[in-house]
Amino acid sequence: MSRPLRLLLGVLTVLALAACTDDGSGGESSATSAPESGSATPSAPSEPPRAGECRRLTLDEATVATSDAAPVPCNRKHTAVTVHVGRLSRLLPGGADGVDVEGERVLRRVADECRPRLGAFLGGDGETLTLSRFQVVWFTPTPEEHEAGADWFRCDLLALDQDDRLMSLPPPAGLERVLDRTDALDTYGLCGTAAPGERGFERVACARRHSWVAIGTIRLQGGSRYPGVAAVRQAGDEPCADRVREERGFPVEFEYGWEWPTAAQWAAGQRHGFCWAPA
């Protein structure tokens, strides 16, 4: 006999990706900030970033469009690794002269360029990446730097730890193709401190102490209109139960948790939910 948990309606904790605008494409909120300029005269652009650099960012610093964090040696503590650096002038039709580097059009193009870089760097398949705590964030120069000639954008890899903290990461060589490893999710996977939806539940990286683990995703059918709570709840419940039952060797009694996408997540393009089992 299966024992489904109280099914979860709560919004997933999703990182508001850097440089996102309020267009429903990220988490519950997003922010950009226009840095203050001490002079009306543009100064020379700073040294452009390079792929393979490491930085020590906080979660707050990872959710804005620009970053002045200097690189740190990758053998020291860091929370972000630059996996790609590109040129805005090559990315934008007509070039980047005179464009608003913090505007929606630019940030959408940068986001579309950076998102695929995460899987290309980490390896693994799509579900493994979705079940991981890895995220990609992106940054552009400030308007002042761009006016002075800065033409870059950068894509940084990071991993959510717990609460509002980011994981400390190994050097880039230790992360490249890491999701090809069969035990990668034991460290970087999505886990919970309690049963999803129950008191004390918190999403954590599986490297942390936990009692539940997200074992898979269930893809749902539907168009742009949200099918409704009853429909998405029913659509994934039995497939999730079957998946946990099979993984646990077809026991007579077992627990599972099905977490379906909310209307807001559906509008943002999420067409999957998470299937949970006791660790």
**What would the mean pLDDT of 3-8 be, rounded to a whole number?**
36
Confidence class for position 278, pLDDT limits 50, 70, 90: very high
Residue 69: per-residue pLDDT: 92
Does residue 177 lie within any of the structural domains? yes
Q: Are 220 and 255 in contact (CB under 8 A)?
A: no
How does pLDDT run across 223-275, given as a tens digit for each residue? 999 999 999 999 999 999 999 999 999 999 999 999 999 999 999 999 999 99
Domain that holds residue 155: 2-31+48-278
DSSP letter assigned to residue 146:
H
Does residue 104 lie within any of the structural domains? yes
Does residue 88 lie within any of the structural domains? yes
Residue 94: per-residue pLDDT: 77
> Tokens representing 175?
């992360």
Alpha carbon distance 67, 61 (integer Å): 7
Does residue 167 lie within any of the structural domains? yes
* Side-by-side strand order, sheet with 272-278: 2-4, 254-259, 272-278, 212-219, 190-192, 203-205
Confidence class for position 163, pLDDT limits 50, 70, 90: confident
pLDDT above 80: residue 179? yes
Does residue 253 lie within any of the structural domains? yes
Confidence class for position 45, pLDDT limits 50, 70, 90: low
How does pLDDT run across 130-149, given as a tens digit for each residue? 999 999 999 999 999 999 99
Does residue 41 lie within any of the structural domains? no
Does residue 156 lie within any of the structural domains? yes
Classified as helix, coil or strand, 48 is coil
Does residue 127 lie within any of the structural domains? yes
Share of the chain above pLDDT 90, in %: 72
pTM reported for the whole predicted model: 0.81
Residue 245: per-residue pLDDT: 95
What domain count does the chain have?
1
pLDDT above 60: residue 18? no
How does pLDDT run across 191-215, given as a tens digit for each residue? 999 998 899 999 999 999 999 999 9
